[in-house]
Structure 1
Amino acid sequence: MSRSVPTSVPESVALLRRVYPDSEARTGPDHLAELGSVIEAIPYRWLYWPELVESHGAVFVDLFGAGAAAFREGLDASVRRGPTGRSRTAWLAVVDSYNLIELWQLFRRWRGGLDASEEALLALGGLVLEPWRARLNSAFPDRMFTVEIVPPDPEVGVCLQVRQTAPRLDPPAGW
């Protein structure tokens, strides 16, 4: 990775202080009280405790509100697109593609400057790792997952990758 991932509260607060140099806030809660509002906070529930969808034996993070039917239709289309007998590795690549979250796509409103920077997106990614892991483990206690920040790519930027590591994911019938 080109930069360290600021996953700690002090590093994140330091970033906020650079972005808002005129702010009196010195702690994370101070920034929340000064910059946020109740109504603005409500949508962040989905960022830190995302909806999850299960389809074809795999679990997906549904940050965009697509719903189970959309995931099922997309995966069904992937199954139909090719000949049967494709590899398990190819199936896992399809599942991984649905669980590669490009963080810049989550927001339509950008304040400019550091808001859209790799540093800011890495900070956000680092801060959601633990809640996402907790969410996955809470909803699917019989499974194991990894949630990682993948090295930033010039094409897609900063991404989070979610993978089920146990039990083994096998392709659906017809794959």
Structure 2
Amino acid sequence: MNQHMIAHRILHESFPYVDAEDSVSYFSEAGDATQALMYGWLYWPDLVEIHGAVFMALSGDDEAEIAQRLATPLADGHPEWPVMSWVQMVDSYNIFEIQHLFRQSRGPVEFSEDTHRILGSILVQSWRARLMASYPDRQFAVRMIEADASMDLRIAVSQETPLLIPPRGWDGQRRGIIIDPDRPE
């Protein structure tokens, strides 16, 4: 069964009161402009650039939150943690488990995996277009990664070119940007 047929079946089971022959008809019958507005950010998310790295803004106050987290040495108290490169740190902020984007679920449980997979494939395409439109001079990889023991089905975004350069003060062992206030710029 192809993706469109699966999507139609999921929508039919989730909205049995809608008499539609195709998936496209559901948005006008089961949705409204307020819902569309609420999800606009998901399909065309804000992007935040900090220290030359691009972050997908899916949380709200992303710029302040990410900047604060990057300035906090995350590995202090964890000497067993391996060194993390700047690229690895940036990439870790740009991984999103699809099923955890939402706190609610709708429709039959047996369609949950298909729903997340279809949504993920749509988001991969729209996020790729968003990044290309905003940063035409850079190349990004946007891909869906299968669930494993560490995480559920997820989308990972990483900058491929140009290579990211660690900001002044980046400490891979401590996993933070450590600025010495006594050291002049």
Per the TM superposition, whether the score is higher than 0.5 is yes
Question: How has the CA–CA distance of structure 1 residues 106 and 145 changed in structure 2, closer, same or farther, with 3 Å as cutoff?
Answer: same
Q: State how 1:66-85 maps to structure 2 within 5 Å.
A: 66-78=61-73, 81=76
Question: How has the CA–CA distance of structure 1 residues 138 and 79 changed in structure 2, closer, same or farther, with 3 Å as cutoff?
Answer: farther
2:95 is matched with which residue? 100
Q: State how 1:131-150 maps to structure 2 within 5 Å.
A: 131-150=126-145
Give the CA deviation at 1:97. 0.9
Could you tell me whether the CA contact under 8 Å between 1:17 and 1:26 is conserved in 2? no
> Are 2:11 and 1:16 aligned?
yes
- Please give the TM-score of this superposition, normalised by the length of structure 2: 0.77
The structure 2 residue matched to 1:30, chosen from 8, 25, 38, is: 25
> Does the residue aligned with 1:121 lie in a helix, a strand or coil?
helix
Where do 5+ consecutive residues of structure 2 fail to align?
171-185
- Per-residue CA deviations over 1:40-82 (Å, capped at 9, x if unaligned) read 1111100100011011211010111123121111112248959
RMSD: 2.8
Q: Percent identity?
A: 36
2 CA distance for matches of 1:64 and 1:145? 21
1 CA distance for matches of 2:58 and 2:24? 25
- Per-residue CA deviations over 1:66-117 (Å, capped at 9, x if unaligned) read 231211111122489599xx97x62222111100011222212222533882
Could you tell me whether the CA contact under 8 Å between 2:138 and 2:160 is conserved in 1? yes
The structure 1 residue matched to 2:53, chosen from 58, 64, 74, is: 58
Q: State how 1:146-161 maps to structure 2 within 5 Å.
A: 146-161=141-156
Question: How has the CA–CA distance of structure 1 residues 139 and 79 changed in structure 2, closer, same or farther, with 3 Å as cutoff?
Answer: farther
2 CA distance for matches of 1:108 and 1:115? 18
For these two proteins, the number of residue pairs brought into alignment is 167
- Per-residue CA deviations over 1:7-58 (Å, capped at 9, x if unaligned) read x544422432344455311222211111101111111100100011011211
Could you tell me whether the CA contact under 8 Å between 1:114 and 1:120 is conserved in 2? no
Where do 5+ consecutive residues of structure 1 fail to align?
none
Q: Which has the larger radius of gyration?
A: 2
Specify the code of the residue in structure 1 equivalent to 2:123. V
